[in-house]
């Protein structure tokens, strides 16, 4: 049981690295605790609310009681299946804003500015614009990851973009291209009517090579000898084994499980490890700290016409959609239904968007419960750059125990101001002429909630995670006491050990995290192989020329 490289976690970044390292001729062993991604709940885009609520595919984590959200525990789904969270997510594809990556570089992630990472986004993509325009110079065409756009044939999806335009915001034909700011079509990792996860794009092709193998096992800790990682101790079929890495061990187990594994292996805040009787191998204060996420709310409206997806929200309708998808891979089941998007700035003086919209032509919750009132639509909205920071810590030294996850949501005053702004700006968009033929009353929060205090009560009770945890093993310069990995994804203080997944993000990116997580795996693979990174591109993103003085 040995290979050149042992990767822990067959998620978004792990699959990408397995593909690139095996493509280069190295032998690769991928350790994954979860099982197969077969079955319609994962494969069918329209069924996305199911897998993240199924214990078969999810680690089943939840946060500690959140003090600023009335003591609520929030679910924290992480994919326990091949493909990881790319097999249970909403399939939305957002690279992030160019300024996000430039910020990473200024925070010490040298070589990770937008010009450096753009070639990797292009290398991973097979972009299908569906004839909707966009700048082809910014996109990739022959990568493993298919990126498509929904048909947007529901009139509500078009009304949302038009309403954004009427409210004075720009329209963008490609938020993953030069201009993120504005309203336009949303992109998804869907191909030929099926979810196109990291397992489909990267892992399955890699496993066809003789030098790549997948092992079902639960990683317990990294085995470290004389300051060097030599393998991974796993629990497999009830017995403990060590899988040996001839060259390097690579952790890609998620922003929750990667820091947990580091701490179980003796890498982390020394006093915290000592509390749990774990011998300290590398005292790294930043392990598990800097936890960030996106919170969001749904602003729901009743519809006066039967144009929403509610008509399928009964046993017969769901059966019909399911049958059509099974037979033809078409129909409502072939879309995640997030087909229109928006990225706007909350106020003058904000340089690039800090609010994201997902528009959905039905009023429904993530757990699949539809609004009882019937036809409706909703916008998911939330601030992109919360100042709140949390932590992942050990509950015990038992590898089978869930870690403690404390997001500390809404612990900064600015978050409350930004969330109230989100709600008020959304109401203004829904009040535009484009929605006049469809708009009934406001279901949630309800038009009675107007004052700051009333909106704060609604936020406290209803804000939900957008499931974008990251930042718990921050990338930075080797002399930064809070950095966990250096800009080549090497764990600082231990040789032959790397970590590459959303844990390494110094700051959360604008939008959904799947695309940048895969990009991290793509770029880390070149560092691991000792290759020169792809040459940087001198691409100038669009920044609103009036950003300093106007909100739109």
Structure confidence by residue, pLDDT tens digits, 273-301 = 999 999 999 999 999 999 999 999 999 99
The answer on whether 90 is annotated among ligand-binding residues is yes
d(CA 75, CA 467): 9
What digits encode the pLDDT tens for the residues 298-325? Answer: 999 999 999 999 999 888 999 999 999 9
- Residue 411 burial (C-beta neighbours within 10 Å; 0-12, 13-18, 19+): middle
Whole-number pLDDT of residue 365: 72
Whole-number pLDDT of residue 372: 62
Query: For 82-91, what is the mean pLDDT?
Result: 97
pLDDT at 374 over 90: no
Residues classed as catalytic = 468
Is residue 369 very low, low, confident or very high in pLDDT (cuts 50, 70, 90)?
A: low
Q: Where in the chain is the domain with CATH 3.30.410.40?
A: 151-185+295-383+411-462
Sign of CA dihedral 200, 92, 9, 25: positive
Mean model confidence pLDDT for the chain = 96
pLDDT at 72 over 90: yes
The answer on whether 81 is annotated among ligand-binding residues is yes
Whole-number pLDDT of residue 403: 98
The three-class DSSP label of residue 236 is strand
By residue count, the chain amounts to: 552
Q: Where in the chain is the domain with CATH 3.50.50.60?
A: 1-148+187-290+469-539
pTM recorded for the entire structure: 0.98
pLDDT at 131 over 80: no
Q: What is the CATH number of domain 151-185+295-383+411-462?
A: 3.30.410.40
CB 340 within 8 A of CB 161: yes
Q: b vs e for 436-465, b when ≥16 Cβ sit within 10 Å of the residue's Cβ?
A: eebbeebbbbeeebeeeeebeebbbeebbb
Query: For 511-526, what is the mean pLDDT?
Result: 98
- Quick one: CATH architecture of 1-148+187-290+469-539? 3-Layer(bba) Sandwich (3.50)
d(CA 426, CA 439): 13
Query: For 415-433, what is the mean pLDDT?
Result: 98
Is residue 373 very low, low, confident or very high in pLDDT (cuts 50, 70, 90)?
A: confident
CB 33 within 8 A of CB 219: yes
**Interacting residues of 155 by C-beta distance below 8 A, sequence separation 6+:** 307, 438
The answer on whether 211 is annotated among ligand-binding residues is no
Whole-number pLDDT of residue 367: 65
**Interacting residues of 453 by C-beta distance below 8 A, sequence separation 6+:** none
The answer on whether 92 is annotated among ligand-binding residues is yes
């Amino acid at each position: 049981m040995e290979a050149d490289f042992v990767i822990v976690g067959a998620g978004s970044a792990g699959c990408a690295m397995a593909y690139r390292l095996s493509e280069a001729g190295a032998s690769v062993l991928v350790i994954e605790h979860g099982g197969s991604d077969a079955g319609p709940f994962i494969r069918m885009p329209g069924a996305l609310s199911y897998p993240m609520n199924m214990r078969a595919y999810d680690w089943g984590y939840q946060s500690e009681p959140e003090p600023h959200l009335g003591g609520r525990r929030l679910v924290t789904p992480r994919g326990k299946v091949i493909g990881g969270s790319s097999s249970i997510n909403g399939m939305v594809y957002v690279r992030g804003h160019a300024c996000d990556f430039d910020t990473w570089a200024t925070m010490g992630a040298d070589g990770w500015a937008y010009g450096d990472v753009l070639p990797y986004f292009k290398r991973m993509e097979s972009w299908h614009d569906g004839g909707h325009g966009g700048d082809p110079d910014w996109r990739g065409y022959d990568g493993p990851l298919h990126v498509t756009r929904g048909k947007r044939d529901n009139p509500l999806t078009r009304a949302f973009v038009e309403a954004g335009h009427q409210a004075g915001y720009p329209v963008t034909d490609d938020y993953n291209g030069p201009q993120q700011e504005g309203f336009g079509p949303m992109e998804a990792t869907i191909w030929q009517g099926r979810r196109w996860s990291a397992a489909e794009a990267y892992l399955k092709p890699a496993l066809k090579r003789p030098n790549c193998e997948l092992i079902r096992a639960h990683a317990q800790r990294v085995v470290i000898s004389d300051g060097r990682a030599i393998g991974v101790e796993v629990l497999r079929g009830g017995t403990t084994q060590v899988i040996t890495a001839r060259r390097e061990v690579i952790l890609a187990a998620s922003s929750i499980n990667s820091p947990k594994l580091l701490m179980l292996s003796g890498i982390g805040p020394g006093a915290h490890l000592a509390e749990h009787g774990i011998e300290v191998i590398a005292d790294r204060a930043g392990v598990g700290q800097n936890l960030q996420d996106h919170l969001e709310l749904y602003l729901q409206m009743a519809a006066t016409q039967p144009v929403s997806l509610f008509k399928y929200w009964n046993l017969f309708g769901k059966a019909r959609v399911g049958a059509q998808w099974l037979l033809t891979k078409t129909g409502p089941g072939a879309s995640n239904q997030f087909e229109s998007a928006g990225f706007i700035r909350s106020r003058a003086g904000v340089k690039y968007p800090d609010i994201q919209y997902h528009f959905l032509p039905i009023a429904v919750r993530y757990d699949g419960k539809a609004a009882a009132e019937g036809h409706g639509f909703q916008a998911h909205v939330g601030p992109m750059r919360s100042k709140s920071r949390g932590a992942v810590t050990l509950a015990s030294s038992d590898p089978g125990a869930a870690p403690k996850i404390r997001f500390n949501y809404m612990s900064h005053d600015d978050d409350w101001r930004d969330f109230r702004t989100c709600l008020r700006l959304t109401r203004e968009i829904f009040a535009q002429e484009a929605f006049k033929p469809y708009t009934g009353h406001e279901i949630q929060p309800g038009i009675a909630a107007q004052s700051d205090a009333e909106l704060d009560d609604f936020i406290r009770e209803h804000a939900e995670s957008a499931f974008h945890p990251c930042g718990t093993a921050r990338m930075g310069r080797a002399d930064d006491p809070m950095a966990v990995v250096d800009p080549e994804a090497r764990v600082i203080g231990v040789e032959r050990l790397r970590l590459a997944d959303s844990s390494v993000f110094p700051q959360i990116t604008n939008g959904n995290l799947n695309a940048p997580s895969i990009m991290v795996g793509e770029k880390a693979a070149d560092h691991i192989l000792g290759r020169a990174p792809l040459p940087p591109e001198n691409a100038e993103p669009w920044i609103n020329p009036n950003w300093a003085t106007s909100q739109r």
